[in-house]
């Protein structure tokens, strides 16, 4: 209790908390995009529930990982050497997560570009490709593990105060939970955004693979590219909306 009171009265602690919340939110964008795309394949009645469960599990997982900091930090020690590169457990987890994201994004892009696989072949019964509720939760939880470990290691590198890390994680996940619904609805209503988001996931997956092999990719480059792509797509959406308005005008 005394430690909490001393932190509450320390301006440096509040600055660290604010900085860490921003970092956690930025790192959580990847997770949020994946959750939005995956849950949008569910029936509309269960999408919101799946998002809430998936993000809630992310919060529980991150808090549990915070309670095992010694174990998490130990994941950075080399355990395997292949092709002249020493892999830690963190590297192997990032590699598995990156490969999964690349596979998932590629599969979703293929389905988006092949409408016959979603609506059935001509003359055949409709056979829309979907995702079961349980499968969606399992996939969200699998990626939660990858993103949560990266998130906790980032927090450890910024502060050594466990209460600050826990508060930042809770605040960031609550913000993600609030933003998940509007983001999913926006992606669902704008089909071109789906392809852009899948491109983001593909890029993030390749980044995770590169980091697993020791090639650190500055996050600023990744998010700058994502922001610029989103800006260009925003201009395209605005142009389409104005052309539609002109066609409807008498």
Cβ partners under 8 Å of residue 109, min gap 6: 195, 198, 202
Helix (H, G, I), strand (E, B) or coil at 80: strand
For residues 159 and 165, give the distance between their C-alpha atoms in angstroms, rounded to a whole number: 7
Is 156 contained in some domain? yes
Is 230 contained in some domain? no
Average pLDDT over residues 96-125: 68
For residues 142 and 145, give the distance between their C-alpha atoms in angstroms, rounded to a whole number: 5
What is the per-residue burial (b if ≥16 Cβ within 10 Å, else e) of 160-179?
ebeebbebbbebbbeebbeb
Q: Which tokens sit at 209? A: 């693979």
Is 247 contained in some domain? no
Mean pLDDT, the chain, integer: 75
Is 183 contained in some domain? yes
What is the per-residue burial (b if ≥16 Cβ within 10 Å, else e) of 119-146?
eeeeeeeeeeeebeeeebbebbeebbbb
Question: For residue range 184-240, what is the model confidence (pLDDT) as tens digits?
Answer: 888 777 777 777 878 877 887 888 888 888 887 777 777 788 788 888 888 888 888
Q: Which tokens sit at 222? A: 């990744």
For the chain, what's the residue count?
Answer: 250
Is 31 contained in some domain? yes
Is 196 contained in some domain? yes
208 contacts 97 by C-beta, under 8 angstroms: yes
pLDDT band for position 124 (cuts 50, 70, 90): very low
Range of the domain at 181: 11-217
Whether residue 159 is predicted with pLDDT greater than 70 in this model: the reply is no
pLDDT band for position 120 (cuts 50, 70, 90): very low
Q: How far is CA 45 from the centre of its chain?
A: 23
Other CB atoms closer than 10 Å to residue 6's CB: what's the count? 10
Nearest to 222 by CA among 27, 33, 55: 27
Is 101 contained in some domain? yes
The count of C-alpha atoms lying within 13 angstroms of the C-alpha of 137, restricted to the half-sphere facing its C-beta, is: 12
pLDDT band for position 123 (cuts 50, 70, 90): very low
Q: Domain total for the chain?
A: 1
Cβ partners under 8 Å of residue 45, min gap 6: none
Is 222 contained in some domain? no
Least confident of 59-73, 110-124, 151-165: 110-124
212 contacts 91 by C-beta, under 8 angstroms: yes
DSSP 101: H
């Amino acid at each position: 209790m005394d430690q909490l009171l001393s932190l509450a009265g320390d301006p440096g602690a509040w600055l660290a908390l604010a900085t860490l919340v921003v970092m956690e939110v930025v790192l959580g964008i990847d997770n949020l995009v994946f959750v939005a795309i995956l849950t949008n394949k569910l029936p509309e009645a269960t999408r919101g529930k799946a998002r809430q469960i998936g993000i809630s599990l992310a919060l529980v997982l991150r808090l549990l990982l915070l309670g095992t900091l010694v174990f998490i930090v130990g994941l950075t020690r080399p355990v395997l050497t292949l092709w002249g590169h020493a892999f830690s457990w963190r590297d192997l987890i990032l590699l598995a997560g990156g490969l999964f994201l690349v596979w998932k994004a590629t599969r979703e892009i293929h389905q988006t570009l092949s409408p016959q696989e979603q609506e059935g072949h001509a003359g055949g019964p409709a056979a829309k490709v979907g995702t079961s509720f349980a499968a969606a939760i399992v996939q969200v939880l699998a990626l939660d593990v990858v993103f949560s470990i990266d998130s906790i290691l980032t927090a450890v590198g910024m502060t050594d105060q466990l209460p600050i890390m826990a508060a930042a994680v809770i605040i960031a996940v609550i913000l993600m939970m609030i933003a998940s619904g509007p983001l999913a609805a926006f992606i669902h209503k704008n089909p071109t955004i789906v392809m852009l988001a899948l491109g983001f996931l593909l890029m993030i997956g390749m980044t995770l693979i590169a980091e697993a092999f020791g090639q650190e990719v500055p996050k600023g480059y990744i998010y700058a590219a994502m922001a610029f792509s989103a800006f260009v797509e925003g201009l395209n959406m605005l142009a389409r909306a104005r052309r539609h308005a002109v066609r409807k005008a008498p």
